[in-house]
Structure 1
Amino acid sequence: MLQAKETSSIKKIENGSIVSAKGFSADGVHAGLRYSKNDLGVIYSEVPASCAAVYTQSHFQAAPLKVTQESVAKENLLQAIIVNSANANACTGEQGLKDAYEMRERCASLFNIQPHYVAVASTGVIGEFLKMDKIRAGIQELNPKCSQEASEAFQTAILTTDLVMKNSCYEVEIDGKTVTIGGAAKGSGMIHPNMATMLSFVTTDANIDSASLQTLLSEVTDKTYNQITVDGDTSTNDMVLVMANGKADNHSLNPNHPQWNDFKAAFQLVSEELAKQIAKDGEGATKLIEVEVTGAKTKQEANVVAKKIVGSSLVKTAVYGADANWGRIICAVGYSEAQVEPEKIDIFLGDLCLFTNNSPQSFSEEAASNYLKQDSVKITVNLGVGDQVGKAWGCDLTYDYVKINASYRT
């Protein structure tokens, strides 16, 4: 099994961003959809790029997703992504679809490219029509550049209740060429992907065909974005969208390329970092929770158990209260529908063993409580019935989550 980790051929770029890969630029402006913050952004590639995408599995897919799916299906090439926040343009009927098409057309006109080379994304309140007069004017103000300031302008433009920007960037050597992968994301509430209310955009200058890129994205999504949860709610909109413009000039990547696993590992690192940043910035959250399940019969069961634990409201509130209540973890494992033999299960909180051999273990409540007061908490569960491993990420459940969502529209 591929372990995504930094190696001699893979390097994390601390100040890297969505525009670090060759040939990409971005911008964000305040169009007036929000009171003061940036609310309209764009990513642009100098040349048409291979692309891949995964979308929410909600039955109520928003208008921009339908338009984007149409764009991607045309040639499997994209050159620009236009994104607005404050309004999801979801459940808005024919008018919403018309508005999404207009966003695509106006962005294409701005760059003098074919409309189907443009993807559209929106995030925000459901069931309200876009303020198209403001979007029309805002698109004309967009002037993408390859700079840190431009990258941050884009990142702030896509945020809703997020408190921080989310980005990641890695370089990997392929065929003697430096290939860069950069990403930006948003997501804070209604996060329970398969996909859910999150947007993630990844750019790379790798030379890779769209079919191989789609296969890679689908596989990595199941290990990263689909393994995070904030509140168990899946939304109408969002997606992960990748563009690869080939500017690195490596030989075309596919699963038969001798350095495919290097590229795959770097791509997974970017995706995992973005996913964890989304989980950590959950609405009202104070802590990132990582759950690792080992000893499962299958990879799927390991992932299912990990996500059940990290998604449990009782586990999340116990972590918030710094209460080492391992019984809540046992309950989540019990209703996971995975193959479980209770006498073989071990539960660890950090390095503290809480439960083994179907019996509670003696541990320091003070040490456990102090551990749970950290910014990041790890729970490990060994099922003891196989050799498969899975991970999931989430956050604690706090009073502030209720406050934020009780007045989201007001």
Structure 2
Amino acid sequence: MNSSFVVLPGGTITTPKGFQAGGLHAGLKKTERRDLGILYCEVPAAAAAVYTLNVFQAAPLKVTRDSIAAGAGKLQALVVNSGNANACTGEQGEADARAMRHLTADALSIAETLVGVASTGVIGEPLPMAKVERGIAGLPAALAANSGDDFCEAIMTTDLVQKSLCVRVETSAGPVHIAGAAKGSGMIHPNMATMLGFITTDALVTSADLQGLLSEATDASFNMITVDGDTSTNDMVVAMASGLAGGSELHPGHPDWKAFADGFGYVAEYLAKAIARDGEGATKLVEVHVAGAVNEAAARAIAKTVVGSSLVKSACYGADANWGRIVAAVGRAGQPVNPDTVDVRLGDFLVLEGSRPVPFDDPAATEYLKGTEVQIVVNLHMGTASATAWGCDLTYEYVRINAAYRT
């Protein structure tokens, strides 16, 4: 734990000053679980966002991007639905996303350009707008400062658990808070995934500086996870800063910026790891740390290749200490690797040194791999750069879930 911030037990996306949230069941899912959520700030908040790199970008992403641009980097509300991605739905899909923005703005009596839209669920099906319209009409009554959990439930699809965290950062002017909520379980791969992430803070920070921080944090967190190698059409992470904590404006030259950035990065990493841990059908979190790379880009590429390997993931599920699969993934990552200098560890078990196998306690390593967290460490001995990626094992359950996703 970094001493510059503390985790607040029970803290939610609404803990930072000025934020409220809510969720309700609008009938977009077959279950009775909440499927429409709202995140609201009592003042226009500095906003930043990152989006999927998939060429097929869903309509809500376009609308949110337009809102942030038209609103001079400000958002005041985000409306989010689960159960329907509103992706690959043509002109009607974009019209529906804009209608969601308009309806939400009217319900909250704010400008349309201060509303962002996010959707997640099945691709290629039109939104049932009659249900959406009725649901949005009920969102203002669902808003509350203690409804962060309702919001978390409303954004979930195949997720098994809610994913949220809040930290407090001590600054020279007093405490500021950073909180996050996310969803994601399948169709998860670096360069964003079928995930939605929302980060709130009451720090005073400009949209430009918040964008820089979000992009940096995303590269080290959300872009370093994988479940199944598929990058979605709907991924988006949005950050909002109310500025209501008071104090001077935080910026990269401010003496408190590092503490703020550390707390922000920790929230992003926690949410990213929570998504990987909750991968569809997963039984364990897999962490791959690559050290000794020639540069950070190489370290990241190798770590993501190893953690995304179906063979490595299968070996983790089967508790098979088959380090050959790890080496094969390292070698096909397309990055500089000296085939004579690689070390590999499974937890505390050194299994390869200088690219040569070494004796290790196989039964004990198998027991280690049966745990709920597996760490793989690869040292290339070529430089000083390092990176960490997160994923999960590949199980029979993943196939069962995705073979019947629409049913």
Match of 2:66 among 67, 70, 80: 70
Following the alignment from structure 1 to structure 2, what is the Cα–Cα distance between the partners of residues 251 and 218?
Answer: 23
1:366: which partner in 2? 363
**Cα distance in 2, alignment partners of residues 276 and 333 from structure 1:** 22
Using the alignment, how far apart are the partners of 2:376 and 2:192 within structure 1? 24
After superposition, give the CA deviation of every residue in 1:212-236 in whole Å (9 maximum; x if it has no partner).
0001111111100000000000111
Q: Of residues 93, 97, 101 in structure 1, which corresponds to 2:98?
A: 101
Q: Which amino acid counterpart does residue 19 of structure 1 have in structure 2?
A: T
Q: Which of residues 10, 15, 39 in structure 2 aligns to 1:20? A: 15
Matched residues in 2 for 1:269 and 1:190: separation?
23
Pairing 1:5-404 to 2, within 5 Å after superposition: 5-7=1-3, 9-35=4-30, 36-74=32-70, 75-142=72-139, 143-147=142-146, 150-404=147-401
Shift in Å, 1:258:
1.0
Shift of 1:86: 0.3
Matched residues in 2 for 1:245 and 1:193: separation?
Answer: 29
The alpha-carbon deviation at position 175 of structure 1 amounts to 2.5
Deviating 4+ runs (over 2 angstroms): none
**CA offset digits 1:112-145 (Å, max 9, x no partner):** 1000000000000000000111111111211210
1:142-186: per-residue Cα shift (whole Å, max 9, x none)? 121011xx1111101000011110011111012231100000000
Are the aligned partners of 2:87 and 2:123 in contact in 1 as well (CA < 8 Å)?
yes
Deviation at 1:196, TM superposition (A): 1.9
Q: CA deviation at 1:261?
A: 0.8
Q: Which amino acid aligns with 1:71?
A: S
> Comparing 336-345 with 211-220, which one deviates more in the overlay?
336-345
1:236 aligned partner, one-letter code: T
Secondary structure of the 1:85 match is strand
Q: What secondary structure does 2:229 align onto?
A: coil
* 8 Å CA contact retained: 1:286, 1:395: yes
CA contact (8 A) 1:50 1:78 kept: yes
* Cα distance in 2, alignment partners of residues 232 and 179 from structure 1: 36
- Name stretches of at least 5 consecutive residues in structure 1 with no aligned partner: none
Q: Hey, what's the Cα distance between the residues in 2 that align with 1:305 and 1:24?
A: 39
CA–CA distance in 2 between the matches of 1:385 and 1:15?
44
Following superposition, the deviation at residue 255 of structure 1 comes to 0.8
Report deviation, 1:324: 0.3
State the percentage of identical aligned residues.
56
| TM-score (normalised: structure 1) | 0.97
Task: Provide the alpha-carbon RMSD of the alignment.
Answer: 0.8
The TM-score, its normalising length taken from structure 2, stands at: 0.98
Q: Deviations over 1:339-358 (max 9, x none)?
A: 11122111000011000022
